[in-house]
Amino acid sequence: MSLDVAVEKVMKQYGNFSALMPTSVEIRNGEFFTILGPSGSGKTTLLKLISGFETPTNGSVYIGSEDVTNAPPHKRNIGMVFQNYALFPHMTVRENIAFPLRMRKVPKAAMKKKVDEALELVQLKAYENRYPAQLSGGQRQRVALARAVVFDPPVLLLDEPLGALDKQLRLQMQMEIKKLQEKLKITTISVTHDQEEALTMSDRICIINEGKVEQIGTPRQIYEHPDNQFVAEFIGETNLIHGQVVGWDHGIAAIKTMTGEIFHAVSADKDLTKVTFAIRPETISIVSPQHAIDTRWRGKVHEIVYIGESCRCKLITEKGGELKIKLSHKEIPFVSEGQELVVGWEVNEGILLNK
C-alpha cells in the first residue's frame, strides 16, 4: 500500500528536554490514523512536526515522495482542523470555506463550485450567510472541516477536533467525520487523548507516552493485544496481576500470584518466569461452584458502580487482592455488596504482557 506520510527517525528537543524521542511512523494512503496519548506525551509535538508548525531536531518528514522536513505549513498543502476551529468571526460560512481557495487564487467560477460542493458535503448550504457566532458548536466544526478539505489536500490533520463539544455531540461528530473521511478517501491524522474516540474512528492507532511510541495497531489489536503494561492500562480498564510461572502442561502455564493461581495458554516459551498477566473486567465471568473453568477465584463484592449499560464491580479475593469485573444487565439484579462470588476465565482469555 502506498504511503501518504512518513516520519523517519524524527525527534524534537527543547534544550535538555526531549519532547519526542527518535520516532518512525508510516501513514498509509486513505487511512484514518490516530495519535493517542495522555497530556504531555508528545502526541501534539508529532502532529506539529508533520504539519510544519515545528521543525524536528533530527530526522525527516515526507508527504507523498516529497521531503517537507524544512517546508513551512503553507507549502505542505495539507488541511488542518484545530480544537478551537480558528474560524474568522467577521466572515460568513461561505467566506470562511472559500478562504483557502482565495489564497490559492482559484478563479471565481471554480471557487463557487468548490464551495457549493463543500457546503453540501457538510450539510450547511442553508447556513452559508451566517457568521460563526450564529452557529452551534457542531456547525462550527463542520465549517472548519469544509474549509480544511475544500482545496482537495492529500492529507487532513485534526488536532483534538472534538475536545470543545459535549459528549452527545462528540459521539455524533465522530460518525460524521468518519463518514466524510471515507467518502473523500482522504488520508487523515488525528490527535486525541480520548480512548473511545480513537477506538471508534481509527483504522490504526499510535499510542505515545513520554515522547516514545508504545504501540501501533488496529483498534482491536491495541485493545485485545496490548504490547505492554502502559497500553493495557491506558486503553480501557484492565486487571494487572503479577506472578511467577511455576509449571507447564501441554502449552498451559501455571502462574502463581499473591491472589491465586492462573492457568494460561502460552506459545512454548519456557524461559518465562516472572510475568504480568492482564485480564479485562468484561472477560471475567461469574460462575457457579460446580462450573468447570480453567481459572477460578472466590471473593466478596466490595463496591458496585452503576454506569448505565453495565455495572463496575470490585471484588476483594480470599487472599486480599482486588479484581475489577463488569456485570451485564442480566447479572446486576443478582449481585449485591458484601456478597460472595466465584469468578473465572478460560486459558485463552487475558494476555501476558511485556514489561
- CB burial of residue 291 (10 Å; 0-12, 13-18, 19+): exposed
**β-bridge pairing 212-217 and 204-209:** antiparallel
Q: Which residue has the cell 487523548?
A: 193
pLDDT tens for 215-262 read 999 999 999 999 999 999 999 899 999 999 888 887 888 899 988 888
Sign of CA dihedral 135, 141, 146, 147: positive
pLDDT digits over 116-139, tens only? 999 999 999 999 999 999 998 889
**Average pLDDT for 183-210:** 94
| pLDDT tens digits, 293-304 | 788 899 999 888
pLDDT digits (tens, 9 = 90+) for 201-222: 999 999 999 999 999 999 999 9
Q: Is the pLDDT score of 289 beyond 80?
A: no
Distance CA 332, CA 353 (A): 31
Number of alpha helices (DSSP H) and beta strands (DSSP E) in the chain = 8, 20
Q: What order of strands is seen across the sheet that includes strand 3-14?
A: 17-28, 3-14, 58-63, 66-67
Distance, CA of 150 to CA of 163 (rounded, Å): 23
Please state, for a pLDDT cut of 90, what percent of the chain lies above it: 63
Minimal CA–CA distance to 165: which of 187, 186, 189, 135?
135
**Domains, the chain, ordered by start:** 3-234 (3.40.50.300), 239-353 (2.40.50.100)
